[in-house]
Amino acid sequence: MWVRIASRGAFTAHQTLHCLRPPSFSPAVVARFVAFSSSSAMAMTKKVGTHNGTFHCDEALGCYIIRLTDKFAGAEIVRSRDQSVLDNMDAVLDVGGVFDLEKDRFDHHQRGFDQTFGRGFVTKLSSAGLVYKYYGPEIIAKELSLHVKHPDVDRVYIALYKSFVEAIDAIDNGINQYDVTDPPKYVDNTNLSARVAKLNPDWIEEQSTQKENAAFMQAMELTGKEFSEALRYQARSWLPARTVVANCLASRFEVDKTGEIMVLKEFCPWKLHLFEIEEELKLEPSIKYALYEDERSKQWRVQAVAVGPGRFESRKALPLPWRGLRDDELSKQTGISGCVFVHMSGFIGGNKTFDGALAMARKALELP
């Protein structure tokens, strides 16, 4: 795939650079990129403009994302601040002072710009967030091979914004992670925005437009690779796990009439999904215990659900008299045979069988 970059605004000064097959993206997208390198297709290649000079994470990612759409597949990236050049672009990102979806103008620097992702997110958007907001569903639908209106597309769309894109918007807009007046105790210089910033030619290096454009290509590849990886994780790991947890929650009353015990029929990362789905569906009463089989020991675990994400305290820890006991001593205390252990803090316990673990959970619910 070829991408050309206008160096000084005029198209006569194009440099042609190798790059930008999205790193192992879904076959459909790759096929389209290849198709666009044919000469007849080249003639109708769209142009996406962004500013020249120092670049940032947001327009690098924005340029990558917009090229994943059908409309801008294989588009040429043109870097310039010359308005007459920008006026001839099919899309303009991060420069030009205009946000206009109809015209594919995606600047966020102008006075009065107040776009956020919505859906509960209040962080002001960068050019990456803007492009993602409007073209994200199409890109995600392609990755999932689903219709754009499928609810799973929407789930991944929100999850990917929350887990990946929002931080780029926030850092670009200088929004702190926490409301604190003290300076942070340490700095993490390895966030994606920081790594993109470091790709800019250093001041001690010789400055050239060519070098800067080549570095911008690298920035697009870096941000694109991480975006694609994050999307793939959401599609192949996060979403299936969510489906497992949602199904287990739906059948919770078949496990116990209280509806407070969930059985994971298939082990997967379940905690965050549980909190999210409970909140989404306003589940009452909340789940107190999750039962699942430990792969290695083939024993069953009964785990007390924490009060919230990232918290250690349990909603209803296993009973105090059981804690720290093992095997026969524990079985005697619980009155349930085959008990294996209950952790000192009461957040987890085990029985040799599913029925044993369920009996432990039921008894724990009854005890104060």
Which window, 148-156, 242-250, 265-273, 335-343, contacts ligand NAG (CB under 6 A)?
335-343
Q: Is 356 in the site for ligand NAG (CB under 6 A)?
A: yes
Q: What is the DSSP letter of 58?
A: H
User: Which residue in the set 1, 2, 9, 365 belongs to the binding site for ligand NAG (CB under 6 A)?
Assistant: 9
User: Which residue in the set 100, 205, 294, 355 belongs to the binding site for ligand NAG (CB under 6 A)?
Assistant: 355
Helices (H), the chain: 27-35, 39-43, 57-66, 83-87, 127-144, 151-160, 166-172, 192-199, 209-233, 239-250, 252-255, 271-281, 327-334, 354-366
Helix axes 127-144, 151-160, angle to 10 degrees: 140
Structure tokens at 353: 């069988």
Q: Is 231 in the site for ligand NAG (CB under 6 A)?
A: no
Q: How far is the CB of 318 from ligand NAG (least distance, A)?
A: 15
Which window, 80-88, 153-161, 215-223, 248-256, contacts ligand NAG (CB under 6 A)?
80-88
User: Which residue in the set 171, 239, 241, 245 belongs to the binding site for ligand NAG (CB under 6 A)?
Assistant: 171
Q: How far is the CB of 344 from ligand NAG (least distance, A)?
A: 21
Q: Is 162 in the site for ligand NAG (CB under 6 A)?
A: no
Q: How far is the CB of 6 from ligand NAG (least distance, A)?
A: 8
Q: Is 200 in the site for ligand NAG (CB under 6 A)?
A: no
Q: How far is the CB of 247 from ligand NAG (least distance, A)?
A: 24
Cβ-based nearer residue to ligand NAG, 160 or 167:
167
Q: How far is the CB of 182 from ligand NAG (least distance, A)?
A: 14
Residues linked to residue 342 through DSSP beta bridges, in sequence order: 349
Cβ-based nearer residue to ligand NAG, 228 or 351:
351
Cβ-based nearer residue to ligand NAG, 40 or 176:
176
User: Which residue in the set 26, 80, 126, 314 belongs to the binding site for ligand NAG (CB under 6 A)?
Assistant: 80
Q: Is 189 in the site for ligand NAG (CB under 6 A)?
A: yes
Binding track over 252-291 against ligand NAG, x by CB under 6 A: ----------------------------------------
- The closest alpha carbon to 128, from 73, 197, 58, belongs to 58
Residues linked to residue 124 through DSSP beta bridges, in sequence order: 116
Question: How many angstroms separate the CA atoms of 59 and 131, rounded?
Answer: 9
Q: What are phi and psi of 188, to 5 degrees?
A: -100, 110
Structure tokens at 333: 């205390």
Measured from the Cβ of residue 93, the count of other Cβ atoms closer than 10 Å reads: 29
Q: Is 338 in the site for ligand NAG (CB under 6 A)?
A: yes
- Contact positions with ligand NAG (CB under 6 A) in 17-56: 52-53
Q: Are 43 and 86 in contact (CB under 8 A)?
A: no
Q: What are phi and psi of 336, to 5 degrees?
A: -120, 125
Which window, 12-20, 35-43, 188-196, 277-285, contacts ligand NAG (CB under 6 A)?
188-196
- Sign, CA torsion 290/292/297/298: positive
Q: How far is the CB of 79 from ligand NAG (least distance, A)?
A: 8
Q: How far is the CB of 242 from ligand NAG (least distance, A)?
A: 26
Which window, 157-165, 182-190, 276-284, 303-311, contacts ligand NAG (CB under 6 A)?
182-190
Phi-psi region of 52 (alpha: psi -120 to 50; beta: other; left: phi over 0): beta
Structure tokens at 294: 């430990």
Helix (H) or strand (E) holding 350, with range, is strand 348-351
Q: Is 201 in the site for ligand NAG (CB under 6 A)?
A: no
Question: How many angstroms separate the CA atoms of 115 and 132, rounded?
Answer: 12
Measured from the Cβ of residue 257, the count of other Cβ atoms closer than 10 Å reads: 10
Maximum C-alpha span of the chain: 86
Task: Give me the residues that bind ligand NAG (CB under 6 A), please.
Answer: 8-9, 52-53, 80-82, 171, 177, 187-189, 191, 193-194, 336-338, 351-353, 355-356, 359
